Structure 1
Amino acid sequence: MFEKIYNMGEKYDAISVFDADNLVSSNYLLEMNKQLCKGHKVVQGYIDSKNPFDSWITLSYSIAFWLSNRIFQLPRYYLGLSCGLCGTGFCIDVNVLKEIGWGATCLTEDLEFTMKLALNNYKVAWSHNAVVYDEKPITLKQSWNQRKRWMQGHADCASRYLGPLFRKAFRERDLIAFDCAVYLFQPIRLVFIGLITIMMWIQTVYPESPFYNLKYVFPTEVWTVFVTLQFLYGPLIVLSEKKFNLKVLYGFLIYPFYCITWIPITIQGFMSKNNKDWSHTQHSRKISISDLEKA
């Protein structure tokens, strides 16, 4: 596909990549151009949701992306680290593509290309105002299959790039490579954190439970503050993103259950990382960009 673009009569400075179902904000190209003019070579846009209120799954997905945009992507941009490509809504300088090629073959090719960029001394910048609306899966089954595919690709990518990234990080004192390597390790950490969280909830409901002794690691007051912050930080961040309403408040009540489903999905994805079958996610919503921007 990229080769066809290279061979066209018209010559372009950069290429933007979208999914077929995406809707794009009217200022997308303007915002991407601002970042390219600043010298950035690869820029990820803000991934929003076309259908946040179709089901509890789409609402949970939307919350997850709103939180990621604010507390994962934006801080990394400000700190000079590499943001993560999201598979859609990103822009790449043509010369970078010609230099290192696309060459991504994992099920999560966006993640693989992010790591490939880090190994070649490039980082992904962020454009918070270049908004791309993506359709989220409606049912738990669709979501499960999609996220399992993400974890299969993540595991495959980790097996290929974790070693080279850590070597580059320590040999060259490269913080970007180190941060990318740590991110590849995150799913393993997610499983342990998820199990600890479940144990903590059980302790909250049954303080005298004889099976768990986590409460003795820190004073009770520390755990109380920790649990309170767990429930408050998400709504406060979504409020700052101007996405907050009563439906979103309801979404935060069920969001923890969505997060817990990541535990078996992550384990299943890692166990089947060598399976390269692509599970297609159906898209059926007919929504116009004017409807979204009006909302």
Structure 2
Amino acid sequence: MLITLNWFFENNSLDHYDAVVFVDADTVLDPNFLQVMNDRLLSGQKIIQAYNDIRNYEENPLTRLIYTTSFLKNLSFYEAKERLGLSSALMGVGMCVDVEILKKIGWKAFSVGEDWEYYAQLISQGKKVNFASTTKVYAQEAVSLKGGFSQRLRWAGGKFEVMGKYGLEMLWKGLKTFDIHKIDASLNILMPNYSMLLNLNIVCLLLALLFGHSFLIWWSLFLLFLQGFYFSIGLWLGKADKKMIFSVLIIPIFLLWKGVIDILSLFGFKRKKWIRTQRVSKESLT
């Protein structure tokens, strides 16, 4: 599909269009999506990323848990970056790109983490990605650990690939030129996701307990407290109901699952292989 995008942009005239919107076939857009994108383009913004929400978040504890982390990612992270004048990352769907950007840069992102790669390419060329929290694109989330395994493995593998290809180089260029946008984007690329941070902290705590290092024990416990507090903020701001709150009970299983995925993807396991993700339960299909 990525090669197809590149071929399309190179072999078709975009002169009669103002922008291109990227969505998946199974996503649903807010009714105001195109209006918000139009207003942002008229205001001078060139690349806009919509709020990436979960369509079936009430399906089970797994989708509720992922919804909370998605809420934190969108509002407490990317919306905060938008208000600080920094770039949002691209999320694969809900993206709107001005045709002038596509004419100049084209589509040269061919890794399985194409959204992260294109984001890195844009920032490297001095472009900015704005975040639009006032409109959403709703994606269907996998409803089981088994169903979401291949998808998460692909995402994690793509992120590691982009991390190795662009992360440190962009950070070094940003530091040399005092470019805050490159520094910020490189840290965004290099930064582990929420679950990986939590897993790394737990491993550090276990090692500190094993070797009896009191300072590292207390430091790890302090970081665990901060991570738990941050997650609690997401529950509070998201006005979580009882079912949403009780979804935290599956966090240990989720962390173990994600830990396996991150380790496999770090070593490139099935990084180039695309496997269709089952996003609906069997009951929903009958």
Query: Separation in 1 of the partners of 2:152 and 2:213?
Result: 30
Q: Map 1:181-196 onto structure 2 (within 5 A).
A: 181-187=186-192, 191=196, 193-196=198-201
Say yes or no: does 1:7 pair with 2:6: no
1:231 aligns with 2:228: yes
Q: In the alignment, is the contact (CA less than 8 A) between 2:265 and 2:271 conserved in 1?
A: no
Match of 1:269, as an amino acid?
S
Kindly indicate whether the alpha-carbon contact (under 8 Å) linking 1:156 and 1:273 is maintained by their aligned counterparts in 2. no
Counterparts of 2:221 and 2:194 in 1: how far apart (Å)?
22
Please report how far the alpha carbon of residue 155 of structure 1 lies from its aligned counterpart in structure 2 after TM superposition: 1.7
Secondary structure at the residue paired with 1:211? helix
Answering whether residue 110 of structure 2 is matched by residue 114 of structure 1, we say: no
User: What secondary structure sits across from 2:100 in the alignment?
Assistant: helix
Instruction: Confirm or deny: 8 A CA contact 1:119 1:168 kept in the other structure.
Output: no
* 1:211 equivalent in alignment to 2:216: no
Task: State the secondary structure of the residue aligned to 1:60.
Answer: helix
Q: Which amino acid aligns with 1:27?
A: N
- How many pairs are equivalent? 276
Whole-angstrom distance in 2 between the partners of 1:238 and 1:24: 24
Q: Is the 8 A contact 2:61 2:243 kept in 1?
A: no
Percent same amino acid among aligned pairs? 27
Q: 1:262: which partner in 2?
A: 258
Distance, in Å, in 2 between the alignment partners of 1:184 and 1:273 is 20
Q: How well do the aligned residues superpose, as a CA RMSD in angstroms?
A: 3.0
- Report the alpha carbon displacement of residue 68 of structure 1 after superposing the two structures with TM: 0.5
Contact preservation (8 Å) 2:204, 2:220: no
* 1:135 aligned partner, one-letter code: Q
CA distance in 1, matches of 2:12, 2:280: 33
* Structure 1: segments with no counterpart, 5+ residues: 204-208, 286-295
Q: What amino acid sits opposite 2:265 in the alignment?
A: G
- Specify the alignment match of 2:95 in structure 1: 90
Residue pair 2:47, 2:129 contacting (<8 A) in 1 also: yes
State which drifts further: 103-112 or 183-192.
183-192
Separation of aligned partners in 1, 2:177 and 2:9? 33
Q: Is the 8 A contact 1:235 1:252 kept in 2?
A: no
After TM superposition, give the deviation of residue 109 of structure 1 in Å: 0.5
Structure-2 separation of matches of 1:230 and 1:3: 43
TM-score in terms of structure 2 length: 0.84
- Could you say which residue in structure 2 is the equivalent of 1:289? none
Cα offset, 1:107, TM superposition:
0.2
| In structure 1, C-alpha distance between the alignment counterparts of 2:133 and 2:59, rounded to whole Å | 25
Matched with 2:244 is 248
**Aligned-partner Cα distance in 2 for 1:256–1:30:** 42
SS in structure 1 of the partner of residue 210 of structure 2: coil
- SS of residue matched to 2:277: coil
Q: 2:138 aligns with which of 117, 133, 140?
A: 133
